[in-house]
Amino acid sequence: MSLELKKIIDQISKDKGIDRDMLVDTLEEAVRSSVYKKYGSNLDIEVNFNEDNGEIEVYQFKVVVDEIGDPNNEILLEDAKEHDPNVQLEDELGFTLDVKDLGRIAAQSAKQVLMQKMRDAEQEIIYEEYKDRIGEIISGIIQRRDRAGWIINLGRTEALLPRDEQIPKERFHRGDRVEAYIIDVRRESRTPQIIVSRSHPEYLISLFKREVPEISDGTIKIMNVVRDPGKRAKVGVMTKDMDVDPVGACVGVKGSRIHNIVQELKGERIDIVIWSPDIATYAANALSPARITRITVDEDEKSLEVVVPDDQLTPAIGQKGQNVKLASSLLGWKIDVYTESRYNEVYEHHQVMEQLASAAGISISEFNREGFDSLDSLVQSTDEELKQKLDLSDENLESLKGAINFLGPQKLNLTGEEPLLQEKKPEQNDQE
């Protein structure tokens, strides 16, 4: 060992950004491990790095005794006096141990311990650097692909872009520069695992904050974001500044701002939706570009019945239901879309069933619970079935039958003088 070791420690500390004292402690521990490996772990030793001469010094301590029981840790009084004439029984005497004689295997062990400690220290530095950067956009170079996803080189470390955090059908090649959003930083045995995403809704929010100053300074607030990654997204926005158009600000002059975001997301279509505290208004905005005729709100069920002109069903629903699904996710409400013609049919049917329920003295929910969801299902049932399932009195049964016979010819499109609902008797077989 010499001053050369001191230079090496200083250089590693500078290049790797590792605390110098920790490196010295690590080196001392590595030498201690090597000594134990060669001479046994029951030795009483002390290891120190001498800053003046740049050498590792190892001292072995032995107790002065009058009879040897443990040669490794004890020394006879007469032998000890050769080193120190004033020594007495039970004193501890230190001897310099020559570390140059550790041997090849012991030296290799020391090197391995040192390298492992250095890796651990470097990993800890990287973890500390990135643990508070969750929520940031980072940029790196595609390095390779493995079973978990794409490995991105960030310079001093790597990030993982898992398969389920990628934009579907997005393809990369080694050497491509890519941006992603940090969603997690984990401590792992080999290296800190920096997990990134390109499909996360927060990534889209971060892109808007970067491109739209009014969002980053708080003038415009993003209320919610939903994505079908790579295909379509909806962003709910609002502002308290009446002089600011949130849609115009997000889109930018000639679409310059949103174009940059769409380009980064490989063509993902983005709808900017004006948020409103009124859920019906918010829903109408979210279902754009479809024109809405009317919206019925059910606060208890958090559901909406949306009626559109017959020619607006396709834009309201979207390809494979995408538009209405994203709108529903944006609002957090269930949305059922009807054309005007279909809604009128449904509404008329509901009115008929409510009239029949009223005639029977029960609620329409009791009809539904017992499977009577249409006028036809009532017509096809016997008096006994109706009384038993709906728990009807004879008087209520007659009222129900009268209402069916009154409404039936119009609603079932049947003709003739015979009543629609008569008491039905079980069929008899030929032997009876």
Kindly report, residue by residue over 120-134, the tens digit of the pLDDT.
777 888 888 899 999
How many domains does the structure of the chain reveal?
Answer: 3
Same domain, 211 and 138: no
Name the DSSP letter for residue 426.
P
Answer yes or no: is pLDDT of 104 > 60: no
Residue 428 lies in a domain: no
- Phi, psi angle pair for 159, to nearest 5°: -125, 155
Same domain, 193 and 244: no
- pTM, whole model, 2 decimals? 0.66
Residue 413 lies in a domain: no
Domain boundary among 219, 240, 275: 275
Same domain, 146 and 221: no
Residue 271 pLDDT class (50, 70, 90 cuts): very high
CATH of the domain at 266: 3.30.300.20
Contact 250, 208 (CB under 8 A): yes
Residue 316 lies in a domain: no
Same domain, 119 and 145: no
Domain boundary among 165, 199, 233: 199
From residue 97, give the alpha-carbon distance in Å to each of 49, 59, 393, 403: 14, 6, 107, 110
Residue 396 lies in a domain: no
Same domain, 79 and 191: no
Residues 6+ apart with CB under 8 A from 307: 292, 293, 294, 295, 296, 337, 338, 339, 340, 343
Answer yes or no: is pLDDT of 430 > 50: no
Same domain, 147 and 48: no
Residue 319 lies in a domain: no
Residue 425 lies in a domain: no
Domain boundaries, position 61: 3-127
Burial 141-153 (b: 16+ CB within 10 A, else e): ebbeeeeebbbbe
- Phi, psi angle pair for 16, to nearest 5°: -95, -10
The 3-state secondary structure of 52-118 reads CCCEEEEEEEEEEECCCCCCCCEEEHHHHHHHCCCCCCCCEEEEEECHHHCCHHHHHHHHHHHHHHH
Mean pLDDT of 313-334: 94
pLDDT in tens, 352-383: 888 888 888 888 888 788 888 777 788 788 88
Same domain, 119 and 139: no
Domain boundary among 127, 149, 175: 127
**What would the DSSP string read from start to end of 12-53?**
HHHHH---HHHHHHHHHHHHHHHHHHHH-TT--EEEEEETTT
CATH of the domain at 100: 3.30.1480.10
